Structure 1
Amino acid sequence: MQHSGRTAPAARRVVITGIGVAAPSGLGVADFWAATRIGKNAIGPVTRFDASSYPARLAGEVRGFEAGDHLPGRLVPQTDRVTQLALTATDCALADAGIAPGDVHPYDMGVVTAAGSGGSEFGERELRKLWGQGAKHVSAYQSFAWFNAANSGQISVRNDLRGPTGVLVGDQAGGLDALAHARRRIRNGGRLIVTGGFDASICSFGWAAHLAGGGVTATNDPERAYLPFDGAASGYVPGEGGAIVVLEDEGSVRARGGRNVYGEFAGYAATFDPRPGSGREPGLRRAVEGALADAGCHRDEVDVVFADGAGVPGPDRVEAEAITAVFGPRGVPVTVPKTMTGRLGAGGAPVDVVSAVLAMREGLIPPTTNVELSPDYDIDLVTGRSRTASVRTALVLARGHGGFNSAAVLRAVD
């Protein structure tokens, strides 16, 4: 084949210009970061339903959130809690980015989110009505409120985002996949994508699903329950919430006079683990190397790794070995701030992305709380308290149930 002689156009630089958070450690960026930077634990006894008969009774809940305080009254009965949290975070992210109506044409703005379980609490409530009162008592909004795509749809309608819209499902890895898909849409000509992930399944129906997965800890001490990379690790604590970010083409940000840029979504890769018993290496290391290559980033440039932190010995070992294989023994600081919140499903990785860009702004790596690093893992885990550091490049890892692996590189923008 004869080469045409043409040079491929440079990839468009995609940056984060707005963030919104609704997590157990804080509603809104200021409260979230104030708690995260000092290692404040937000895990506690389940209050959203009676969990006394279950073996696991701890969760990371977004306490004090009342949907009516943040959303129009007509939306509240139409939506599940997960969508209410996502809509609230989206309002914050757009305001943070300085996006006002008319700044960007509606067809130049889209939304891509990740969701693992959809509207569990709404669905459970309507099923109770179905079996207890009859079909006529089931809300018409059940037709979409339970669905994984409800967040993307409601965000699109509420904010008049008429560009590309989608939803990805990949458990904990889905949040990074959504951001990467949003970046791809921008590089293909879009100007702005609202993206991120949310899950909120702390109800008896959702709890049964968590327990069926087999990874939830039965420990009921909030300080010793979720312990990734600790010799006492016995599983994870479920949580609810997530984060929304605004991704934009850097040139478009300048064109509209935007001034708020947190960082660049610089690289991404995803892999899938081979079947159990195959003898082949898990896919996480390849995801890390692929994300670094996509960002044009050498491993020595990475200042911190926000690890997935399964809290289960087998997956913890796989992740620690992947990090060590790429960066060398104790070659890079590693942190798992989700020990303060529990694992948030599709919302977990977007929250880590927010933590990463805030760490860049402050020059501070948030801690992995309550954990005593096992000598079995040769990683430099930031435990106890935050660590002051110059953070210019961060790697975020996420792994989903069933073999999903995703990795993303965030880079500071001067």
Structure 2
Amino acid sequence: MTSATVVTGMGVIAPTGLGSKAHWANTLRGAGAIDRITRFDPEQYPSKLAGEAPDFVPRQHLPGRLIPQTDHMTRMSLVAANWALEDAEVQTGDVDEFGMGVVTASSAGGFEFGHRELHKLWSQGPEHVSAYQSFAWFYAVNTGQISIRHGMRGPSGVLVTDQAGGLDAVAQARRQLRKGLSLSVTGGVDGSNCPWGWVAQLAGGRISTADDPARAYLPFSAGARGHVPGEGGALFVLESEDAARARGITSWYGAIAGYAATFDPPPGSGRPPGLRRAIALAMADAGIEAADVDVVFADGAGSPELDRIEASALRAVFGPHGVPVTVPKTMTGRLGAGGAALDLATAMLTMRDGVIPPTVNVPAPMPDYEIDLVTRCRTTAVSTALVLARGHGGFNAAMVVTRERS
């Protein structure tokens, strides 16, 4: 029998806080972290709100030599990886370097770094462009920098599937563990809150233009008019249960019990969206039925059309009002590839403490969606959670995480 894949460490950087403890405390308080952008002047843009990681000062966490080499997103990733390894009590020097891998997800790469260097190119000339531009912008840079810093030379990679990426990366790491890898750092930390990245996100046509943070991102509600972007996410240490026990670890946050990914058909094809099938396949992979799921962390696109599709999938699988559904990302915004990874972290904290966090600012869902949307903290035993994510262009991912301890 295949050893379970367990999460032995996590590192969180999110608008709701630096570190899993701060993130969880603020999430349970329903502390919305969406506000006017401060990383650049948003006045000339139709959308001016974002979720920004608070008080993140890279030099407080990283060697000074890494600062000029890295984008803001990569600095957050390096710190999250450090925290995940510390949380898992991993001493990388004690593990075979080829037995450790890194799999991360990214939506775009180091856009802020690229924006700055392109500005130098056109305003000052090519001799002023940093040599680090050759890789600091690249969507695989987080994987590369983490693997270099910690001497992780085993099977690694990067997934680029927008919001679904955080789950897809964890699933890829799970595959490598099943092939014999000792451990993997995986998940997603993302964000491109800079003028170049902002224009790219606006081009998708799904960002809210509301100026009131409490009214800007309202998934499943009558007021849904788009989403708010954000930055951050979560990275994890994944191990097989056998490998974790071999180094003396006897408890963990949870087990990655099931996963599936599907792709939506082209518009106008007449074929149904793929989210419902992803849910069914993930539950089958985990060997569970709908009645076994205690909570769903929904994708919550905040677009009426996409919300309706997700609500329909949930209703088809679980029945009307059949399972508690929550969208805690209403506090942070949608964090690109980091969003689903943060939801996965929050799901495991939910299982640990038996509290489902709220979907803030949404007093009630649209009645015809027929979903049990959690709008205030709900205390209940949670042993199995389903996390959903969808990426722009048709990506769907579903992951089942279970509470397993010795």
Whether TM exceeds 0.5 here: the answer is yes
Instruction: Please report how far the alpha carbon of residue 162 of structure 1 lies from its aligned counterpart in structure 2 after TM superposition.
Output: 1.1
Instruction: Please report how far the alpha carbon of residue 178 of structure 1 lies from its aligned counterpart in structure 2 after TM superposition.
Output: 0.3
Q: Which residue of 2 aligns with 1:62?
A: 53
Q: Residue 175 in 1 paired to residue 169 in 2?
A: no
Whole-Å Cα distance in 1 between the matches of residues 189 and 26 of structure 2? 20
SS in 2 for 1:102: helix
Q: Which residue of 1 aligns with 2:345?
A: 354
Q: How does 1:140-159 map to 2 (within 5 A)?
A: 140-159=131-150
The correspondence for 1:314, drawn from 284, 298, 305, is: 305
Q: Residue 105 in 1 paired to residue 100 in 2?
A: no
The correspondence for 1:184, drawn from 175, 199, 203, is: 175
Q: How does 1:169-318 map to 2 (within 5 A)?
A: 169-318=160-309
TM-score by length of 1: 0.97
Whole-Å Cα distance in 1 between the matches of residues 48 and 163 of structure 2? 21
2:70 counterpart letter in structure 1: T
Whole-Å Cα distance in 1 between the matches of residues 82 and 28 of structure 2? 24
2:96 counterpart letter in structure 1: H
Q: Residue 47 in 1 paired to residue 10 in 2?
A: no
Cα deviation digits, residues 314-354 of structure 1 (max 9, x gap): 00000000001000000000000000000000000010000
Whole-Å Cα distance in 2 between the matches of residues 243 and 101 of structure 1? 19
Q: Which residue of 2 aligns with 1:134?
A: 125
Contact 1:271 1:287 in 2 (8 A): yes
Q: Which residue of 2 aligns with 1:12?
A: 3
1:378 counterpart letter in structure 2: E
Contact 1:261 1:413 in 2 (8 A): yes
Number of residue pairs matched by the alignment: 404
Whole-Å Cα distance in 2 between the matches of residues 400 and 335 of structure 1? 18
Structure 2: 5+ residue runs without aligned partners? none
SS in 1 for 2:330: helix
Q: Which residue of 2 aligns with 1:378?
A: 370
> 30-39 or 395-404, which moves further after superposition?
30-39
Cα deviation digits, residues 331-383 of structure 1 (max 9, x gap): 00000000000000000001000000000010000000001311121000001
Instruction: Please report how far the alpha carbon of residue 259 of structure 1 lies from its aligned counterpart in structure 2 after TM superposition.
Output: 3.4
Whole-Å Cα distance in 2 between the matches of residues 280 and 410 of structure 1? 29
Identical columns (%): 62
Contact 1:44 1:60 in 2 (8 A): yes
Cα deviation digits, residues 197-238 of structure 1 (max 9, x gap): 121100100000111000000001001110000101000000
Q: Which residue of 2 aligns with 1:5?
A: none
1:412 counterpart letter in structure 2: R
Q: Which residue of 2 aligns with 1:6?
A: none
Contact 1:37 1:367 in 2 (8 A): yes
2:191 counterpart letter in structure 1: A
Contact 1:223 1:370 in 2 (8 A): yes
Contact 1:18 1:260 in 2 (8 A): no
Runs of 4 or more above 4 Å deviation: none
The correspondence for 1:78, drawn from 52, 69, 79, is: 69
Cα deviation digits, residues 9-43 of structure 1 (max 9, x gap): x2231000000001000110110000011211000
Whole-Å Cα distance in 1 between the matches of residues 185 and 121 of structure 2? 35
Contact 1:15 1:261 in 2 (8 A): yes
Instruction: Please report how far the alpha carbon of residue 101 of structure 1 lies from its aligned counterpart in structure 2 after TM superposition.
Output: 3.4
Give the root-mean-square deviation of aligned CA atoms: 0.7
SS in 2 for 1:270: strand
Structure 1: 5+ residue runs without aligned partners? 1-9
Instruction: Please report how far the alpha carbon of residue 104 of structure 1 lies from its aligned counterpart in structure 2 after TM superposition.
Output: 1.9
